[in-house]
Each structure stands twice: as C-alpha cells, then as structure tokens.
Structure 1
C-alpha cells in the first residue's frame, strides 16, 4: 500500500495495515521487512529462500470484480489519461503499457525474480484465492477502482501467494504527471510489486527507500535496501542463470572472461554507494544464506599471481517497521563471508580467506596461478542472512615462480625442505613455505616441493623429480636434507 505524503490512511486500509503488520512479529531484524515469499506460481515451485522464481502478471479487463471494491475500471481510466492506440483486450498495444512493463523489468534485472507478462486473464474475482495459471491469468493481477479520491491512498496489494494489485483510479492528476518518464506512476507500481513478491513497509529517517509507506519521487525505483529485500527472498540475478540452476558450483560458474596481466575485474560495485541506487544500475551480487555459493571463473594466458578482495556491502542507516521506533542498522555485517580460489580443475584449493569477522574485508594476495588456463573464485556465507558484496580480482604481471622454491633462490632443493620443516604448522599471511597460499604451512606445501624437487627456473630438472610415489619422494627429500645437513656440519 502506498500513500501520498502525510495523508491519513482510510479506516479500511488502516485495518489492512494492522493485519499485514502482524506478519512481521517475531521476525529477526533484516532492515527490509520480509513477509513470506511465493512458494508456488503458475510456473511451478519456487524452491526455498534465496532461490530464483518466475512470476507472471496480467491486467484485468474492466468489469472484473475486486473484493471490497466493486468492479475494476483501470483500463478505461488509463486510456482516458494516455489515449488509446488500438482497441480490444490487447493491452500491450496501449501507450501506457510500457510503463508497467518497465516497472516489472526493473525488478527483474535487479534480482532472482523473472517477471513475465501473461496476456490472458479470465476475469475471475481479484483478491480471492484464484491462483495464477499459464495461458489463463497471471500470478499477479492488476486492476483499479476509486479507493478514496485524490491525494489519498495510491494503491494497495495483496501479499504472496496472491499478489493482486489495486490502483486508485480516483487519482485525477497524479498518474498523468509525465515528469521523469511518469515516475509517479512507475514508483507506485514498483512499490506495490515489492509487496506482491513479499516485502512489507519500512521507514528510514536517514535515507530514501522505495518500500516506505509514502510516495517519494526524489529517486527512481528500488534503492539498496529494497534490492537486499529482493535478494533475501529470491537471491541475486545470477540465480536465474544456467536455466535457473544459478552459479552454485564450479561447473556453473559465472564467467568473467579473460583477465590480462596488469588487469582486473570488479563485480558488485553498484552496492558501494550507500542506499542510493541509480535507475540504470544493475551490478548487485549477494549471498542469500548459508547454502548459497557464488562461483566465478576467469582465464589467464600465462602463469600469474592473483590478488582477490571480498568486501561486504549494504550500508549503515536508520530503519524501523512502519510506525515503530528506528535504530541504526549495519547491513555491511549480516553474514560472515568466506573467499576461496581454486585451480583449473575447479576443486584444487589454491587459497582461502575467512579470518575476518562479518562486515570486514577478506583478501588473498599473490595467489600463484601456475599456468595459463581457467581458474575459479568462490564466495560463500555462514548464516541465513543476505549479504551484498563486492569482489575484485587483479592479475599481476606474469611473474613466474618456481613451485617449491621456498628460499627464493630459483630452484626447489634441500634448502627449501629445511625452510618448510622450520615453518611447519605455522599459519598467517606471506609465509615463504606456504606453497599453495592457503595461510598455513602443512603437508600440502610439502607435496608441492616433492612434485617439483630438483626443478629450477632454468628449466632442467634433476632425476629425483621423476619419483612416482609421494611417499617415496618424501623419503628421498628427507635423505637429501640429511646429506645436506652433514655436508654443512663438515
């Protein structure tokens, strides 16, 4: 439900507000105020929280009954405001149709819902229990009636699994205002769509949000906390990739393409500017819950070093439920994120970072990418809270290091084994013997030395590098270390 600023709510809508407010009781603070998400639509089951969904929408013909409102007159009302380019029930040919389509499309490009126009509507009563059906009627149905006249309630919408929207056709001049491509109409429709997919009202004394209960045309469309609400219920837009399978595994990774030496890639940057969101911004990514994994792939054309920075985002702002007390809310620290880098097979761990608390940056520096090929980065979380983030990948100039060269002299030999032995069990960043850059010196690093023992940047490898079994190779390395120690003693 959306109202003009500072306009008292009608008695009917006050009752509706009280009913809706009861749904928020007992929910954990999330800034955005969630109700239940759609469980089933005309396209089938929507899965669980954080999964994407397809939701259809339709426009009802005039004369369609609306619970408590009489009959819909939305089509003739809009035709009167905008004119008619063609007759009949082909509403998509009307000059005003594009404003509705743009409103649905804006939400579609921001997160995990795919809104699809259903051109049919069989005219059953709105606001009842009629579920959406493909080729019959939309999941969300839009009609209109004279609710309370000008400068009052602009529209109201039922929550899932209903979603029917009723626009006040008693507004004489408001919806015909053409400023900013009819922003007054579009912001109203986009606000009501937030209700239709499961968001309740929120109020903020520090920022402007679409889901506040009074119309605000100082911005265009959903703002950052509104985007968080969409992601919290249905995930980010990447959940719709791979035919709805998302990017939860390395085999379904979102491709970032090639990163040249000295180049970088940045994902999620649109969330870095506080609650304000521009009308054309779409670069938002998030982890919706502890079962959500975001995999990204990228390629390098030669052996390289990779720097990765994972920054949680969301902003800090004052918020509260409609009519309630407000408090400062830190949306930067909703989920403790983990960063990981994997090799060309998608499973060999090259580095991981998870030591920082929620809200703080996780980073990996100089992760060795030993050869040209496709590598993978994974972002994951530890709780059910949605967390927006920004991910930056930078590839350093192709600096080739000899694997297993822990003392920096260009080859892998007994000296490097001594470096490993002295550092075994030590954890932290920048350790010389941390061959796989996972933050700890352990047997995995010894395996790297074993596999490359006797090799050097000069290209020639000693015979011992061809040892077939890891256990035998380790014994030979230990023997080499003993001989080396004896020669030093002499």
Structure 2
C-alpha cells in the first residue's frame, strides 16, 4: 500500500462571468445557477444506485450488455450506453479505482473535472470514490520534516518547503487510479505555450509566494533536480525539492478529464496533464494555470476538497477562475496547519519584530490568527520617542457554509468563523510587566487599546484567545503619534532627540549587536552587516538640520 496518498484534480470550470458545465456554456453564471443545478439533478437522477446514496434512479440497462470483464466490475456504476461510448482511458480509470485496495484506510483520490467531461463518467467516479472510502476529510496530515526545516508534527508551527522542476524525461510512475505514468515533458509543454522557461516558472514562483504571504510556510526554490522518479525520495538541499513539479500526457483523458494530481505530505509532488488544451488559455495572467497550481499545492500542504461548490473557495472540487488564489476558507485551513506569517511568536521571548516607531506611524496586518486553544501571539514594537500608541484587533474571517466533500457538494454546515475566540489585547513594557489590557466585547467583537509610552524601549503587544480548539482569523492595526520631539533622521536613536552625539553611536552598536530592526538600514534586509554600518555613518555625518 502506498504511503503517499494522491489527490487528482481535473475540474469542472466556472469562469468569471461564465458557467461551464458538461452540457454547455451559460452567459451569466448567477442568472443561470438554477440551470446548472437542474442539469446536476438530471445527472444525479440518471446515476447508479450506490450504498448510502439516496434518490438516484436505477440505470437503464436496456440493450446489449457488453461481455468485457471490465463491465462486470463497473456494472453497478455505468450504463451499457456509457460503456459503449467511453474511451479506453475512462474505462481503465474507473476499473482501476474500483478494484484498488490502496484506499481501504486512506483517503481516495479527490477528482475535479474539465469542461465537456461526460456526466456519467463524473457520477461513476464519484460513486466509486464514495464506495471505496466514504470518510470525508477537509484536512490531512501536514509536513513534519522537510529539507530545510526540522521534523515537527505540531499543529500551527511554521515550515520551510523547497520545490523544484523535474527535467524532461524523468520517470513519473503510474498511480492507483488508472493513470499510466510516463516521462515528464514539463519543459517541452510549457515552453511551447510561453516561448521560454522563465515566463512560466515565474508563474509557479508567484503562486508559491502568494501562499507564503498568507500562511506560515516559507518557500525556497531549489534550482537542482536529479531526475529520480517522482513520489519517491524526499527533498534534499542541492539535489531535489520537497515538492517536485512535472507533467506528462495523461493518455487516458488528454484534453479533458484530469488536469493534474498532487501527493499529500510527506511528498507533495505535483503532476500536470501535459499538452492539455485547458491550459492554452493564458488570459488574466494565466489564471487557469495559476489557480490549478495553487489548488494542487493546497493538497500538497495537507488540504482536501471542501463543499459546497459555490465558487468561493480555492479548495472546492472544481477549479474556479472567478477569483485568483486562496480565499478566506483556504487561509483558515493553511493557518490552522502552519500558523500565520509571524509564527513562531507564541511567547515574550519569541515576539515577532513588528515595527520601529520614531514618528507618525500606522501598520495594518489583515490576516493573522489564533490557531488553537494554546496559541498566543506576541509582537514587538521598538519605540524610539515618547508616543501615544493605539492597537486595534478585530475578527477577519466570515460566516459561510463549509464542510467535507460529499457526493453532491451542494451544501455544508453554516458557521460564523468570526465568533470562535474571545480575543484579548495586552501591552507589555520592556521588562514584561503588563501596562494595559482590554477584553471588553466578547466573541466576535473588536478590541482597541490606547496607551501613552513616555520612555523609549522595546514594548510588546500580546493577543490571546479562549478555550476553543479551532482557528480565529483576525486583523490588527497599530498606529502611533509622537508626544515629544521627533528624531531628525534614522541615526537619531536616543535622547537628546534632535541631536546626534555619542549616545546615538552607543545605541547603534547595542542595537546592531542585538539584531534589532531599527538599525537594519540597508539591503540585504534581515541581515546585519557592513552596509548597515555604512548607512548609519552616512546618516550620522549628515547631522540634524
């Protein structure tokens, strides 16, 4: 039995302003939603009866029943008419999944379907999936060790994930759901569409960067890939990525059906259907390709499909081009697994450097979170001048229906994700003593605190939640107004403010040695080197007006 479960994705596509189903194209997705649902009902009413699934009429078995043994395997799922018209690839995919034992105690493939896919094939595949393993998931295990980050299975901890592009000719083994495997043709395929390698690789870089701006995963491009078969060896620095990206023609259903599939952690390899004409459309900055990359990598992070399929979530079974990239539900899913971009910041000692305040100031962070009942968030403010500081936090999710993938994917449980934790806000002084705290509003409410800081130093803002073992997305705004003299330039670090003297030099050396953001003057930012010293000396030499 394979240890790396695979998610295959091939999606019914809902284009912005267009609803595309198996039966045709509708000019207005909203106006014709009832037509789409009607078509879906027609498909369901003509689908096979499967254990646990109700309200489906029996298949019309009139006419000649094929003698092919594969029909014996599939006779509970497909009609003789479908069996006669289906391609060998479709029959092989259905039969392989129906007879596989690889998913007896693991999630089966999660499929989405391309425009024009035969509706009976769609229903047969979903029915088989339901019968093989009816347990639905929205989240599976996360990465617990990569090439650049130590092993950790702790929910809410950040990770570093590397990725690489496998060279053409790399062997991609067959999968348990009927895809035959083959030699990768990723470069030949996408170079043919974009004219060069850099253009399409930038689309992958941008998509990984977008995930990295929303959740606690840092992505590192690994330029090397040794061409070993996919779904095998783990990532290794200088050799191959944790996530390896390839493509070959899915001979069973090229130009329709499966667009791509993706392994779950601890693998994460992403394989596309090379030369599938779905990806030839490069409008809206190649949104078809980018949303497929983002969706597939969602599986590679440990996410499963989510319902209802209403065009609001990246991880719905259907690829949707009405929006770009991860949406609120996807951010919640990712941050529940890996925390937000400031993690690890669960204590005073690990407080995330947030800002240096030396004058009028405002900063907003829209998507951070308390990811469970043990999480607290600490943020450090380096205050250089006496200031009145205001901090405001507010829930930043939404109320909507969400649930595991079902046969119909028409509904989920309605939940208000803004009323998960009662957020509390505290300001701590340089010694860690509590200076001010507020918890006035209860579940779903915003909290705001204003505190006057008279002594420059390192202050900390702490955000805490309640007892719910679930995630609360929130946003915060920090603003400051000086109540005393304002530094004349970046080298004016300590009193007397408005003058540059030996006290500023001493403070620079102290802050430089501690690696404080207030003296990270020059690129490369995040590193403290001779360029920062040179910039401090330039500012100091310029003097105050």
1:375 equivalent in alignment to 2:487: no
**2:318 aligns to what SS in structure 1?**
coil
User: In the alignment, which of 61, 64, 77 is matched to residue 167 of structure 2?
Assistant: 61
User: Is this contact kept in 2: 1:121–1:136, CA < 8 A?
Assistant: yes
Report the Cα offset of residue 145 of structure 1: 2.3
1:208 equivalent in alignment to 2:315: no
Aligned equivalent of 1:362: 447
Spell out, residue by residue over 1:145-194, the C-alpha distance to the aligned partner (whole angstroms, 9 max, x if none): 2221213221111111111111012412x212221111111111111111
Gaps of 5+ in 1: 28-32, 85-92, 240-244, 270-283, 400-490
**2:285 aligns to what SS in structure 1?**
helix
Of residues 191-200 and 72-81 in structure 1, the stretch that sits farther from structure 2 once superposed is 72-81
Aligned equivalent of 1:252: 351
1:95 equivalent in alignment to 2:103: no
Spell out, residue by residue over 1:43-70, the C-alpha distance to the aligned partner (whole angstroms, 9 max, x if none): 2424311111111111222232223232
User: In the alignment, which of 5, 11, 18 is matched to residue 3 of structure 1?
Assistant: 11
**In the TM superposition, what are the counterparts of 1:57-456 in structure 2 within 5 Å?**
57-68=163-174, 69-71=180-182, 72-84=184-196, 93-127=197-231, 129-147=232-250, 148-172=253-277, 174-204=278-308, 208-239=312-343, 245-246=344-345, 248-249=347-348, 252-258=351-357, 260=359, 265-269=362-366, 284-299=367-382, 305-323=388-406, 324=409, 325-345=411-431, 347-364=432-449, 366-382=450-466, 383-395=468-480, 398=483
User: Is this contact kept in 2: 1:23–1:35, CA < 8 A?
Assistant: no
Report the Cα offset of residue 224 of structure 1: 1.8
Task: Name the Cα RMSD after superposition.
Answer: 3.0
Change (3 A) 1:150 1:377: same
User: Is this contact kept in 2: 1:3–1:213, CA < 8 A?
Assistant: yes
Count of matched residue positions in the alignment of Structure 1 and Structure 2 = 360
User: Is this contact kept in 1: 2:386–2:482, CA < 8 A?
Assistant: no
**1:156 aligns to what SS in structure 2?**
strand
The CA distance in 1 between the partners of 2:482 and 2:401, in whole Å, is: 44
Spell out, residue by residue over 1:205-255, the C-alpha distance to the aligned partner (whole angstroms, 9 max, x if none): 66521111112111111112211222111111112xxxxx54642563323
The CA distance in 2 between the partners of 1:398 and 1:83, in whole Å, is: 58
TM-score of the aligned structures, taking structure 1 as reference length: 0.66
**2:203 aligns to what SS in structure 1?**
helix
User: Is this contact kept in 1: 2:348–2:460, CA < 8 A?
Assistant: no
Report the Cα offset of residue 388 of structure 1: 1.4
**2:206 aligns to what SS in structure 1?**
helix
User: Is this contact kept in 2: 1:82–1:176, CA < 8 A?
Assistant: no
Aligned equivalent of 2:157: 51
Spell out, residue by residue over 1:439-473, the C-alpha distance to the aligned partner (whole angstroms, 9 max, x if none): xxxxxxxxxxxxxxxxxxxxxxxxxxxxxxxxxxx
User: Is this contact kept in 1: 2:358–2:385, CA < 8 A?
Assistant: no
Aligned equivalent of 2:109: 16
User: Is this contact kept in 1: 2:385–2:482, CA < 8 A?
Assistant: no
User: Is this contact kept in 2: 1:249–1:293, CA < 8 A?
Assistant: no
Spell out, residue by residue over 1:315-351, the C-alpha distance to the aligned partner (whole angstroms, 9 max, x if none): 1112222225323121112233221111232x11112
The CA distance in 2 between the partners of 1:43 and 1:20, in whole Å, is: 39
Of residues 382-391 and 109-118 in structure 1, the stretch that sits farther from structure 2 once superposed is 382-391
User: Is this contact kept in 2: 1:49–1:233, CA < 8 A?
Assistant: yes
**2:402 aligns to what SS in structure 1?**
strand
User: Is this contact kept in 2: 1:157–1:164, CA < 8 A?
Assistant: yes
**2:476 aligns to what SS in structure 1?**
strand
Change (3 A) 1:368 1:141: same
Change (3 A) 1:201 1:303: same
Change (3 A) 1:372 1:74: closer
The CA distance in 2 between the partners of 1:100 and 1:344, in whole Å, is: 43
Change (3 A) 1:102 1:298: same
Aligned equivalent of 1:488: none
The CA distance in 1 between the partners of 2:216 and 2:463, in whole Å, is: 17
User: Is this contact kept in 2: 1:2–1:191, CA < 8 A?
Assistant: no
The CA distance in 1 between the partners of 2:151 and 2:465, in whole Å, is: 22
Report the Cα offset of residue 81 of structure 1: 2.1
